[in-house]
Structures are given as structure tokens and as C-alpha cells.
Chains A and B, each alone.
Chain A
Amino acid sequence: MINRREALQFLSRRVTDQIVVATYSSATDWLDIIDRPLNYFSSGAMGLASSHGLGLALARPERRVIVLDGDGSLLMNLGTLVTIAQVAPRNLTHLVFQNGTYEANGGHPIPNQGVDFEAHARAAGMRDTFTVSTLKDFEARSETILAADHLVFGCIKIEQGPLGPRSYKEMYRHERRMALREALAH
């Protein structure tokens, strides 16, 4: 199993002009590791990170959009896999971090902790998919994650992270979203 923070630290050292859409525990770690205008933290209904990412990918086809999703979040919006596969933007990478728990909500298990998200993605119509459970394998996928010229879906098997209470106030500040909008205007 992969430590999510270590995977994100690796990704943070290689990210350049990509837009990163992160949600809940992934967002907490990502913001702590790398604070940049091209981060987007999707407030609102749980499960919509990939939908936000799809919209950004369509709006800005010249930039790659990387979605850092959670397994509990994705389960709330499984239809998004079908929608995204139908649209198939060439500049979208959808990563789901699977630890089998609602980590941001007390660590309760998700329904069927062994659910195969890659199989779901493939059945939805995605072609370039992968599942990794070691940091070495994750690192080996970095070129695909960051710079592929097609839709990518990846399932990252991770350990459960810390369960402590989280504050999203800083993450969801209006100024952050305006900074993203400003960065995308140029």
C-alpha cells in the first residue's frame, strides 16, 4: 500500500502548468504540500471533483487537468465515469485514492472495500487505466499522469491516513478560486 502523502509529494515535484482538482483528504494533503494558483478545491456536494475536472478540461484543452479523487467520493458519483468516458477529453487524468474508508468522516468503511474501480472505469469506456499499490509503480506512471495525450484513469491503493478533524475554511476561500480564474485567463 502507498502512503498518500508520499505519492502526492512525488507528484508535487513534477507538476508544472497542470490544473490540480483535489477533494477532501487528498485536498488537505495537496494544499499542505504545494499551494499554487492552479489548484482547485471543489466545495459543494461530495463526489463532484471529477465533474469539476471535466468542466475545466473542456474549458482549457491546452492544459492537463489532474483530479485527485477519493474512493468514498467517487462512489457518490459513479455515473461520472460514464460521462467522462463519453466526452473523453484528451487532457484529463482522473486518479482515485482507494483506502476503503470515509477518511474525512471518521474512518468508517465504504461499502464493499474491495470494489475494483479500474474495472468500473474500463466498463464505462475508458481505455488507458491502471491500478498501483506501490510507490515505485506510482512513480513509473508519472509521465502518463502528467503528460498523456488522452484520457487516463488510475486507481492508487493507499493506506488510511490520519482521521483528525479537518477545517476546509482556508481551502475553500473565494480568493483561491479567483486566483485560479485569473491564472487561466492568461
Chain B
Amino acid sequence: MSAPGADHVLPLREGAVSGPPRGASIIAQIKKANIEYVLSVPDQHTSVGLLYPIAADRDLRLIRVCKEDECFGIAAGLTYGNIRSLILVQYTGFLYAANAIRGVPCEQKLPQSKKFGLRIIEPILDAMGIQHTSIETEDDVPKISGLIDAAWRESRPQAIILGGRPEAK
């Protein structure tokens, strides 16, 4: 049985055999979902494969914040102005920012999309009622734009857990 907050439309494929997710594929999905801003505190898991390529991408605007909870305020302001953003933080940053996540996207039912590393946070996401989907391999990456679009359509937060370390290609 799936966890209460798990995405039922796009379930995690079992027995995946493809390689780790590619940073370029993830970025293509982010753009397909009309994300304009990426809000982030760097982490080792996504640094080379995803964050540096995002920083170098001319179509995406990266805002480097000092602490993770800032992301959720900035994303809220962007959302009320009808601009899509993606929050890219480590799971420790999620834990740090839990009060901001509760107070802003959960309470205000905002379509904030966030990517986290490591799956330790899944029970917490369930407790907060935040839908989440794991991206483990390259085969999972095409789910991303649909997840972001669904979050906007239904005006709710969506967590995307990067289980596999993105490759820099």
C-alpha cells in the first residue's frame, strides 16, 4: 500500500534498471513545467549534476538564499504574482524549514514544488499532507513536469525526492 501522501497518478516504478537521473533531463523537465526561478541552498547531492547546470542555464533564474525557510516565502510571493518557482534543498534544509513549510505552502495551499535529497523525510511529508514522488533513475525523470503542473492545477505543494544523485550530463 502506498503512503498516504504518495502520488497515485505517477507511482514509482519498481525494479528500475536505467541509470541515475541526468541533470540535463531534470532541467528540461523543469523548463517544460514553465519554472522561471529556482530557489536553493546548495548541497553535495545535487551540486555538480544539477545546481551548477541550473546556475549556468540562461533560461532559469537561480536565487541563492542564506537559509532554506527563505525559499518558501519567496516562492509564495512569486506564486501570488503567478510566477512558477522550484525549491531545491537538501533534506536537512527541509527539516530546518518545517515551520515555514507548514505555515506557507501547507496553510495557504500554494503550488510550491520542491526537490529534496534522501528519503528519510517521507514520513514527515505524509504527516504534513504533502504529496511526494521519488526520482530514482533516468526513467523517472519524465514525471517531473507533470507533477509540477498538477501541483499548480490543484493549488497544493508537491515534493519531489531525488533519491538518485543526478549525473552532470
Interface residues in chain A, defined as those with a beta carbon under 8 Å from any beta carbon in chain B: 21, 40, 42-45, 47-60, 77, 79-80, 82-83, 86-87, 174, 177, 180-181, 184-185
Contact = CB atoms under 8 A, between A and B. Distances in A.
Contact of A82 (B66, B81, B82, B104): B66
Interface stretch (B3-11, B13-21, B43-51, B67-75): B67-75
Nearest to A55: B77
Nearest to A87: B63
Given A51-B70, A83-B70, A185-B82, 14 more contacts: A40-B77, A44-B73, A44-B102, A44-B104, A45-B104, A47-B69, A52-B76, A54-B73, A56-B78, A58-B74, A58-B81, A86-B63, A86-B64, A184-B80
A80 B70 contact: yes
A48 B100 contact: yes
A44 B81 CA distance: 18
Contacts of A51: 69-74, 76-77
Given A43-B104, A79-B65, A79-B67, A48 B81 contact: no
A45 B72 CA distance: 10
Given A44-B72, A44-B103, A45-B100, A177 B78 contact: no
Interface residues of B, number: 31
A58 B37 contact: yes
15 contacts: A42-B104, A45-B97, A48-B100, A51-B71, A59-B77, A59-B78, A77-B69, A77-B70, A79-B70, A80-B66, A83-B65, A83-B70, A177-B80, A177-B108, A184-B82
A2 B101 CA distance: 35
Contacts of A45: 69, 72-73, 97, 99-100, 102-104
A23 to B, nearest CB: 11
A59 B80 contact: yes
B83 interface: yes
A179 to B, nearest CB: 10
A52 B72 CA distance: 8
B103 A43 contact: yes
**Top 7 closest A-B pairs, CB basis?**
A55-B77, A59-B81, A44-B103, A51-B73, A79-B66, A48-B73, A56-B77
B29 interface: no
B108 A43 contact: yes
B92 interface: no
B73 to A, nearest CB: 3
A56 B72 contact: no
A137 B98 CA distance: 40
Contacts of A49: 73
Contacts of B75: 55
A83 B37 CA distance: 14
A115 B165 CA distance: 43
